[in-house]
């Protein structure tokens, strides 16, 4: 791609007329006060937040609808008509480049009977046509074709029946996010201090990043928060859960090096619920040896500074609240799509520096598949843990026993080297912040409730 597409912001444009979205009568959407389910200060959590169906429905309304959610990478849109279909919570959306090369997003639902107007995962098109009755929409979301138009009354105006548009779509370093909240703070404001940590992976090369290998998708039995909070906070599981993988990656006949088993590092704790954990090492290397050998550490230090190069640039784990996570260690970015309280669908991309030689990009892609792909040696361990936690949490007694998030309690501080508050690498601090943010949103009326 030779240019970065412009992103369309449509905060002032009506998204649907008549009877726009998100105006359901309040009596149909009862709310639960979740104050007693999360004790972020004491580090205790009620398992009902992983199993209760009413809580899950409230999440869709109050956590996912108002939040900035990851949609796609700019590399997926190279010419007008390129599109990618994804989800915002459980709402299906189309992300596409319009004729002016702006990236826009629409609810993937026909305004006539509600079927999807695009059933393909990705591609290029001039119009989105519903296969139910044939209503068709252009790249700007306008209704441009209605079969048997003469059967409708004179007051029927196609201008009133365009696709419902996501009102805010913005881009950070090639990552495209959207929100249904027309009055949400900017994406950059919502990222806050997390942007400094993200840029350690996304901006160590002036040429930017690109996607290699497409999008991998798989389904796991487990609540979406289990995976999102682990990527925000949990290095504690590595030596136990990934012991066999660490042995596999160690030199033949040898145990993993002590500096791998006993990692030193930090954990970033963001007030907006984001989090990142990273070991600290002078050459915090990539997994793929070819990438490590190619990489210019001195140039990165000049661009990003020693703290980022030795910390979050190429190692660790991170989550942008609520459900976007990434692994700098191999360029894996992923979304934990909720599919009910006890199921999630994982979508993962591999990002590489655009300036990498083709053979280095390929080495990174393959290493990603072997470690954090759908059947990767680390990924399989994680999925098993989340499914195990979910499976037993449905029990009556089990569901009444609180979970412990007290590691590192009170350790958060300004350390003078990494921006914002950080904790120890082995800590639950970012997890507590994640659930504090979740609790706050769950107990706060969303913009559409205030407007009623």
Average pLDDT of the residues in 8-21: 40
pLDDT band at residue 315 under the 50/70/90 scheme: confident
Residue 2's pLDDT is what? Answer: 37
- Per-residue pLDDT of 366-396, as tens digits, reads 999 998 989 888 888 888 999 999 999 988 8
Residues 316, 318: Cα–Cα separation, whole Å: 7
Mean per-residue pLDDT of the chain: 90
Residue 238's pLDDT is what? Answer: 86
**Residue 300 tokens, joined:** 């990165």
Look at residue 6 and tell me whether its pLDDT is greater than 90. no
Average pLDDT of the residues in 101-121: 98
Look at residue 311 and tell me whether its pLDDT is greater than 90. yes
CATH architecture for the domain at 68-180: 3-layer Sandwich (2.102)
- Per-residue pLDDT of 67-94, as tens digits, reads 999 999 999 999 999 999 999 999 999 9
Look at residue 9 and tell me whether its pLDDT is greater than 50. no
pLDDT band at residue 1 under the 50/70/90 scheme: very low
Look at residue 16 and tell me whether its pLDDT is greater than 90. no
Among the ranges 15-19, 166-170, 306-310, 376-380, which has the highest mean pLDDT value? Answer: 166-170
Pick from 121, 143, 122: which is nearest to 133 by CA? 143
DSSP bridge pairs for 415: none
Look at residue 306 and tell me whether its pLDDT is greater than 80. yes
- Per-residue pLDDT of 234-272, as tens digits, reads 988 888 787 776 676 666 666 555 555 567 899 999 999
**Residue 61 tokens, joined:** 């309304």
- Per-residue pLDDT of 141-199, as tens digits, reads 999 999 999 999 999 999 999 999 999 999 999 999 999 999 999 999 999 999 999 99
- With helix as H, strand as E and coil as C, how does the chain read? CCCCCEECCCCCCCCCCCCCCCCCCHHHCCCCCCHHHEECCCCEECCHHHHCHHHHHHHHHHHHCCCCEEEEEHHHCCCCCEEEEEEECCEEEEEEECCCCEEEEEECCCCCCCCCCCCCCEEECCEEECCCCCCEEECCCCEEECCCHHHCCCCCCHHHCCCCECCEEEEECCEEEEECCCCCCCHHHHHCCHHHHHHHHHCCCCCCEEEEEEEEEEEEECCHHHHHHHHHHECCCHHHHCHHHHHHHCCCCCCCCHHHHCCCEEEEECCCCCEEEEECCCCCCCCCHHHHHHCCHHHHHHHHCHHHHHCCCCCCEEEECCCEEEECCCCEEEEEEECCCCEEEEEEEEEEECCCCHHHHHHHHHHHHHHHCCCCHHHHHHHHHHHHHHHHCCCCCHHHCCEECCCCCCCCECCCCCCCEEEECECCHHHHHHHHHHHHHHCCCCHHHHCC
Average pLDDT of the residues in 388-413: 93
Residues 128, 101: Cα–Cα separation, whole Å: 17
143-145/136-138 β-pairing = antiparallel
pLDDT band at residue 201 under the 50/70/90 scheme: very high
Look at residue 104 and tell me whether its pLDDT is greater than 90. yes
Domain ranges of the chain: 68-180, 192-442
- Per-residue pLDDT of 419-428, as tens digits, reads 999 999 999 9
Residues 62, 416: Cα–Cα separation, whole Å: 35
Residues 292, 295: Cα–Cα separation, whole Å: 5
Average pLDDT of the residues in 327-342: 95
Residue 240's pLDDT is what? Answer: 79
pLDDT band at residue 15 under the 50/70/90 scheme: very low
Residue 12's pLDDT is what? Answer: 32
pLDDT band at residue 7 under the 50/70/90 scheme: low
Give the list of residues 6+ apart from residue 316 with CB closer than 8 angstroms, or none.
235, 265, 276, 277, 278, 279, 327, 328, 329
Q: Does the domain at residues 192-442 carry the CATH identifier 3.90.380.10?
A: yes
Phi/psi zone of residue 286: left (φ > 0), alpha (ψ -120 to 50 degrees), beta? Answer: beta
Instruction: At 174, give phi and psi (nearest 5°).
Output: 90, -10
pLDDT band at residue 362 under the 50/70/90 scheme: very high
- Per-residue pLDDT of 228-244, as tens digits, reads 999 999 988 888 787 77
**Residue 445 tokens, joined:** 């009326």
Average pLDDT of the residues in 337-348: 98
The dihedral through the CA atoms of 384, 387, 389, 391 has a sign that is negative
Give the list of residues 6+ apart from residue 398 with CB closer than 8 angstroms, or none.
47, 392
Look at residue 210 and tell me whether its pLDDT is greater than 80. yes
Bond into 18 cis (ω within 30): yes
Average pLDDT of the residues in 199-211: 93
Which is higher by pLDDT, 183 or 283? 183
Neighbours of 343 (CB within 10 A): 16
């Amino acid at each position: 791609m030779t240019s970065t597409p412009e992103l369309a912001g449509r905060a002032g444009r009506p998204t649907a007329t008549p009877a726009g979205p998100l105006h359901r009568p309040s009596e149909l959407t009862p709310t639960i006060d979740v104050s007693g389910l999360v004790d972020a200060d004491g580090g205790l959590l009620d398992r009902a937040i992983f199993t209760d169906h009413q809580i899950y429905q409230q999440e869709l309304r109050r956590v996912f609808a108002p939040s900035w959610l990851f949609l796609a990478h700019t590399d997926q849109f190279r010419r007008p008509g390129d599109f990618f279909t994804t989800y915002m919570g459980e709402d299906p959306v189309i992300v596409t480049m319009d004729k002016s090369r702006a990236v826009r997003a629409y609810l993937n639902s026909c305004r006539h009977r509600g079927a999807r107007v695009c059933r393909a995962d990705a591609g290029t098109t001039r119009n989105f046509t519903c296969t139910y009755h044939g209503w068709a929409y252009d790249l700007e979301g306008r209704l441009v074709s209605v079969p048997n138009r003469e059967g409708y009354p004179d007051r029927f105006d196609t201008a009133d029946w365009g696709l419902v548009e996501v009102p805010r779509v913005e881009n950070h370093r090639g990552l495209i996010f959207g929100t249904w909240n027309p009055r949400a703070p900017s994406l950059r404001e919502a990222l806050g201090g997390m942007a400094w940590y993200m840029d350690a992976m996304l901006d160590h090369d002036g040429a930017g990043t690109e996607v290699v290998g497409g999008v991998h998708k798989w389904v796991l039995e487990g609540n979406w928060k289990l995976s999102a909070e682990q990527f925000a906070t949990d290095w504690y599981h590595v030596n136990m859960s990934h012991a066999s993988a660490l042995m596999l990656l160690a030199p033949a006949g040898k145990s993993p090096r002590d500096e791998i088993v006993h990692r030193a590092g930090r954990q970033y704790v963001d007030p907006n619920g984001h989090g990142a954990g990273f070991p600290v090492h002078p050459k915090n290397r990539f997994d793929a040896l070819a990438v490590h050998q190619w990489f210019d550490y001195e140039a990165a230090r000049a661009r990003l500074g020693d703290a980022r190069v030795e910390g979050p640039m190429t190692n660790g784990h991170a989550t942008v609240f609520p459900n976007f996570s990434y692994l700098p260690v191999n360029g894996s970015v992923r979304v934990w799509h909720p599919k009910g309280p006890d199921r999630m669908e994982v979508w993962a991309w591999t990002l590489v520096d655009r300036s990498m030689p083709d053979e280095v990009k390929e080495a990174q892609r393959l290493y990603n598949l072997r470690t954090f792909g759908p059947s990767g040696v680390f990924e399989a361990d994680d999925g098993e843990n989340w499914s195990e936690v979910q499976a037993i949490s449905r029990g009556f007694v089990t569901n009444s026993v609180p979970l412990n998030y007290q590691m590192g309690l009170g350790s958060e501080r300004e350390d003078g080297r990494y921006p914002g508050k950080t904790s120890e690498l082995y800590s639950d601090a970012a997890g507590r912040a994640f659930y504090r943010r979740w609790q706050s949103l769950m107990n706060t009326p969303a913009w559409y409730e205030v407007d009623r």
